[in-house]
């Protein structure tokens, strides 16, 4: 009823499925038992997001689902925690409640519930949920009532755990280790620290689950009690040391398995150790994360080289790692598509001390193009192998096949080659589903083949101009084009007949997409992107304050950039503040940002 393969991508199908589940689960978590006041918003939203995440993990690949969840936390929610609008999962105060329908309430709120699930185990967690629903059916309650149900089910004191609801920020864990070969003892020391946020300079230690595995030199895992290869420790202090006895060789730790807590982790892995985890770790999430860390190290090295005007080169060890990934790709297309996706520009930016959007974009594109050139034949063979002449199906195996095939097309299209353009054009013309047609569209539209780009964009418009949701995608493709001159194209799109300045989805598809997903153009050296956003914030505030406040996010992070960019971004925030009678929504965001 809500999606059709001709007009909806695989990601769209999964999103519809997730949202339907989410709203259905609200029947109990949010409706039958609801919030006493707005400060408890995560009681229903965080809890229900956790429930829909579990449902999606059961319906599709659990590892892929977990990677996608963590991607949102790491790129967007962690940035929220580090910005002027940082607030606890249960905020202490607000000017406009609409400003607190945030990733902290939803995604971090879900992560807090997940930690309870991990700490108590699935059976006790389920018992806690049963107690909560039976005890409070028909009532409006608080997060304390939810945690109390978990305490009563488990017999545990979770007082310290509740700091996750009252303290903002992303904790940072620093891990060191020591191996005593004589006594066959391995020790891990974990330090936790949470940076200051607007509501508090000093933070008390959090109570969090810290899941890990220990790998042998041959790639097998040490086993713990019950024959398990993963053990969950509990951190409650600023510094804790954990000992493991009977360890007959120095292990390589696989830390924070399945991303057991929403934290930033630091451990001195070598490149060789990360490559080993990428090949041998039996925790799917950590295997993916090891590959991301390897790529991030290279990206940061090349950013330094780019900024210093030195030539960019790919180390042979990195090339060898990708060769192995390509060879293993047919075994698990869904996992391989994840492993061979480079870290996003947003995630690279989140980890940077000072964000250089131009360098980040140039370096990431260099790595992608180099990998495409070196493995041109392998990408093409993998692309052709995962072709299918069967009718569209939304089953997980087919979604995985399409994701890997379209990843290959993306790499091939990063090479300026007419043969690869022909592949993309053929896929665009013959696709029987939006997933494949849209993948071809975005690759052609963002390529240097300007004539072909205009042609496929025109054909897509002709084909789908009466489908409003599809037109959102068409607008977004053009707004996120990294080529020079996109801002002028965006300004033209705002005058296009398919654009509606009173439709929030259209606004997000053009203005939101340009400012949030097109860093190289939004952060243009002349500040034109900042002026563009400020102009529209001022205009939109009178029409839709909620949308205007949400669009402000890129400007609120001005302190993360160079002094020149800081000055330009701050000037636009001040211009918004001085523009007149601001709504409470926009005033709250701008005043806290300045």
Residues 153, 195, single domain; the answer is no
* Res 2: pLDDT: 80
In a domain, 552, yes or no: no
Q: How does residue 337 score in pLDDT terms, banded at 50, 70 and 90?
A: very high
In a domain, 392, yes or no: no
Q: Among candidates 492, 481, 462, 551, which has minimal Cα distance to 519?
A: 481
Q: Give per-residue pLDDT as tens, 378-413.
A: 999 999 999 888 888 888 889 999 999 999 999 999
Cβ(514)–Cβ(531) below 8 Å? no
Residues 153, 196, single domain; the answer is no
Residues 104, 118, single domain; the answer is yes
Q: Give per-residue pLDDT as tens, 17-32.
A: 999 999 999 999 999 9
Residue 23 bears catalytic tag: yes
Which residue among 23, 134, 454, 525 is the active-site one? 23
Q: Give per-residue pLDDT as tens, 207-242.
A: 999 999 999 999 999 999 889 999 999 999 999 999
In a domain, 382, yes or no: no
Q: Give per-residue pLDDT as tens, 107-162.
A: 999 999 999 999 999 999 999 999 999 999 999 999 999 999 999 999 999 999 99
Compute the mean pLDDT over every residue in the chain, rounded to the nearest whole number.
95
Cβ(202)–Cβ(182) below 8 Å? no
Residues 33, 143, single domain; the answer is yes
Residues 15, 161, single domain; the answer is yes
Q: Examine the fold and report which residue of 326, 352, 374 is the final residue of a domain before the chain moves on.
A: 374
Q: Examine the fold and report which residue of 166, 190, 224 is the final residue of a domain before the chain moves on.
A: 166
In a domain, 556, yes or no: no
In angstroms, how far is CA 282 from the centroid of its own chain?
22
Contacts of 325 (CB under 8 A, 6+ apart): 291, 336, 339, 340
Q: Which domain holds residue 212?
A: 172-268
Query: When comparing pLDDT for 94 and 308, which is higher?
Result: 308
Residues 62, 145, single domain; the answer is yes
Our count of domains for the chain comes to: 3
In a domain, 207, yes or no: yes
* Number of other CB atoms surrounding residue 171 within 10 Å: 21
In a domain, 480, yes or no: no
Residues 194, 47, single domain; the answer is no
* CATH for 115: 1.10.390.10
Q: Give per-residue pLDDT as tens, 78-111.
A: 999 998 889 999 988 777 777 778 899 999 999 9
Which of 84-93, 300-309, 464-473, 534-543 is predicted with the least confidence, judged by mean pLDDT?
Answer: 84-93
Residues 117, 91, single domain; the answer is yes
Quote the crossing angle between the two packed helices 396-412 and 10-25, to the nearest 10°.
Answer: 140
Residues 33, 162, single domain; the answer is yes
In a domain, 84, yes or no: yes
Residues 178, 256, single domain; the answer is yes
Quote the crossing angle between the two packed helices 396-412 and 376-385, to the nearest 10°.
Answer: 150
Residues 18, 127, single domain; the answer is yes
For 479, the enclosing helix (H) or strand (E) is helix 468-479
In a domain, 438, yes or no: no
Could you tell me which residues are beta bridge partners of residue 231? 212
Cβ(87)–Cβ(102) below 8 Å? yes
Q: Examine the fold and report which residue of 347, 374, 401 is the final residue of a domain before the chain moves on.
A: 374
What percent of the chain has a predicted confidence (pLDDT) above 90? 91
* Neighbour-count burial for 289-312, b at 16+ CB within 10 Å, e otherwise: bbbbbbbbebbbebbebbeeeeee
* CATH for 185: 2.60.40.1840
Residues 131, 33, single domain; the answer is yes
Whether this prediction's pTM lies above 0.75 is answered by yes
* Res 92: pLDDT: 83
């Amino acid at each position: 009823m809500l999606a059709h393969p001709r007009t909806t991508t695989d990601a769209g199908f999964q999103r519809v499925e997730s949202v339907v589940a989410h709203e259905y689960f609200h029947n109990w978590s949010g409706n039958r038992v609801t919030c006493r006041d707005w400060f408890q918003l995560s009681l229903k939203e965080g809890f229900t997001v956790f429930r829909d995440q579990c449902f999606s993990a059961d319906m599709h690949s659990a590892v892929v689902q977990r990677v996608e969840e963590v991607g949102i936390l790491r790129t967007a929610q962690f940035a929220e925690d580090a910005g002027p609008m940082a607030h606890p999962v249960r905020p202490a105060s607000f000017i406009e409640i609409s400003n607190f329908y945030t990733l902290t309430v939803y995604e971090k709120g879900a992560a807090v519930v997940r930690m309870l699930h991990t700490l108590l185990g699935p059976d006790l967690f389920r018992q806690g949920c049963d107690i909560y629903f039976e005890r409070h059916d028909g009532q409006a309650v608080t997060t304390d009532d939810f945690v109390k149900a978990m305490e009563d089910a488990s017999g545990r004191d979770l007082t310290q755990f509740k700091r996750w609801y009252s303290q903002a920020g992303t904790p940072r864990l620093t891990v060191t280790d020591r191996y005593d070969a004589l006594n066959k003892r391995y020790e891990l020391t974990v330090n936790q620290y949470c940076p200051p946020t607007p509501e508090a300079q000093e933070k008390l230690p959090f109570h969090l689950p810290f899941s890990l595995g220990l790998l042998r030199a041959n790639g097998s895992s040490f086993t713990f009690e019950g024959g398990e290869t993963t053990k969950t420790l509990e951190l409650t202090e600023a510094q804790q040391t954990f000992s493991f006895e009977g360890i007959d060789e120095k292990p390589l730790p696989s830390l924070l398995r399945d991303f057991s807590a929403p934290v930033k982790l630091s451990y001195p892995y070598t490149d060789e150790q990360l490559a080993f985890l990428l090949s041998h770790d039996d925790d799917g999430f950590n295997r993916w994360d090891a590959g991301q860390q390897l790529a991030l190290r290279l990206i940061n090295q090349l950013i330094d080289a780019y900024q210093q005007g030195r030539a960019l080169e790919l180390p042979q060890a990195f090339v060898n790692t990708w060769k192995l990934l390509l060879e293993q790709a047919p075994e698990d297309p869904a996992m391989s598509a994840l492993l061979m996706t480079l870290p996003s520009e947003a995630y690279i930016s989140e980890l940077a001390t000072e964000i250089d959007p131009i360098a980040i974009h140039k370096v990431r594109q260099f790595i992608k193009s180099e990998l495409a050139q070196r493995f041109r034949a392998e990408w093409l063979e993998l692309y052709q192998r995962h072709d299918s002449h069967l009718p569209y199906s939304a089953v997980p195996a087919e979604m995985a096949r399409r994701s890997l095939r379209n990843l290959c097309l993306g790499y091939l299209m990063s090479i300026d080659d007419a043969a690869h353009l022909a592949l993309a054009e053929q896929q665009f013309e013959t696709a029987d589903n939006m997933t494949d047609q849209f993948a071809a569209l975005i690759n052609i539209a963002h390529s240097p083949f300007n004539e072909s780009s205009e042609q496929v964009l025109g054909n897509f418009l002709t084909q789908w101009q009466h489908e409003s949701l599809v037109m959102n995608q068409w607008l977004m493709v053009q707004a996120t084009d990294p080529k020079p001159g996109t801002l002028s194209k965006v300004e033209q799109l705002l005058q296009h007949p398919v654009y509606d300045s009173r439709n929030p989805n259209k606004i997000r598809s053009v203005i939101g997409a340009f400012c949030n997903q097109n860093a190289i153009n939004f952060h243009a050296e002349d500040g034109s992107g900042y002026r563009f956003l400020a102009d529209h914030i001022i205009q939109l505030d009178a029409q839709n304050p909620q949308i205007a406040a949400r669009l402000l996010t890129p400007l609120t992070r001005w302190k993360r950039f160079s002094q020149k960019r800081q000055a330009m971004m701050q000037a636009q925030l001040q211009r918004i503040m001085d523009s007149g009678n601001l709504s409470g929504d926009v005033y709250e965001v701008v005043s806290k940002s300045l």
